[in-house]
Amino acid sequence: MLGALVAVAMLGGGELALRAAGVPDPGLYEGDPAWLWYLRPELDRVVPGPSGDFRVQTTAEGLRGPSPPSNGPWTLVLGCSTTFGWGVEAEEAWPARLARLSDLAVVNGGVPGWSTAQAVRGAGRWLDAGPTEVILAFGVRDAWPASRSDVEARPTHPLLLSQLGRLLRSLTHGERSAAPSRGRVADAGAFRVPPAAFAENTRRLVARAGDAEVHLLWFPQQEARTPWRRALEAVGPVIAPTLDPVDYFTDDPVHLTPSGHARLAVAVADALSAAAAPAPEGKPPGLR
């Protein structure tokens, strides 16, 4: 018993010491990289991007950009790194540009690496804050080739998520990261979220949004990913802008350049404005 207590005390002391020293570096994310992760709150870091360094700052809620307002209408945008704005500054990302174009309070809920599977598990922390409008901008990571689907993923054992466990894992196998992949991934025989599951996850997110007006955005991609787009269109009306190859980084054709974000923001603002206009009799303008 005494030996066990000493071992526990030593492990506990080692864990506290590693946390205090920041070893290993916790990086941009907290949570489980195999199941559900978030951006760490109150970050202020400069990280390498596809065309140079960019700054990542987060709120106390782990959001890039403003926190949800305490009152009044506001729009929540949910998505992956293409919504977060990987490789560009916060004010250059399309949700921030949308806020300036439309004079809306827009909260950027993009989390790098998220598919609809993570959104179903974890987006409730922001959906429950009561947005009046929600834009779902998923599809990029859902259609990503993977060795196994997100549905088959299982939570990591808590001991392996400790600082000591992460240190041992990084020394032996290298630590998995939630950071977005660069460029195209070769087909591995499976996808993170198959089309049918993508549609079902989207329906669950729409239901979780409650009374908020929901808009479905098919994020413009250079590869067609037609089955996922059709699955989304089966859920409801879809905003589907198109962009040119020049709007993407040359070395990272998944993520948009600042000018690409600007063009996307204009397209989304125009679509939202059109949806808000009176619809023809008998034809509702949007999902709700």
Tokens 């207590």: give the residue. Answer: 5
* 278/29 Cα distance (integer angstroms): 43
Q: Where are the domains of the chain?
A: 33-276
CA atoms within 13 A on the CB side of 65: 29
* 76/21 Cα distance (integer angstroms): 35
**Each residue's pLDDT expressed in tens, for the chain with a length of 288 residues:** 766 564 455 545 654 564 555 555 679 999 999 999 999 999 999 999 999 999 999 999 999 989 999 999 999 999 999 999 999 999 999 999 999 999 889 999 999 999 999 999 999 999 999 999 999 999 999 999 998 899 888 888 777 655 555 555 556 555 455 545 544 444 456 899 999 999 999 999 999 999 999 999 999 999 999 999 999 999 999 999 999 999 999 999 999 999 999 999 999 999 999 988 775 554 444 565
Question: Tens digits of per-residue pLDDT, 77-104?
Answer: 999 999 999 999 999 999 999 999 998 8
As its CATH architecture, domain 33-276 has: 3-Layer(aba) Sandwich (3.40)
pTM here is: 0.84
* 24/166 Cα distance (integer angstroms): 7
Q: Strand, coil or helix: what is 29?
A: strand
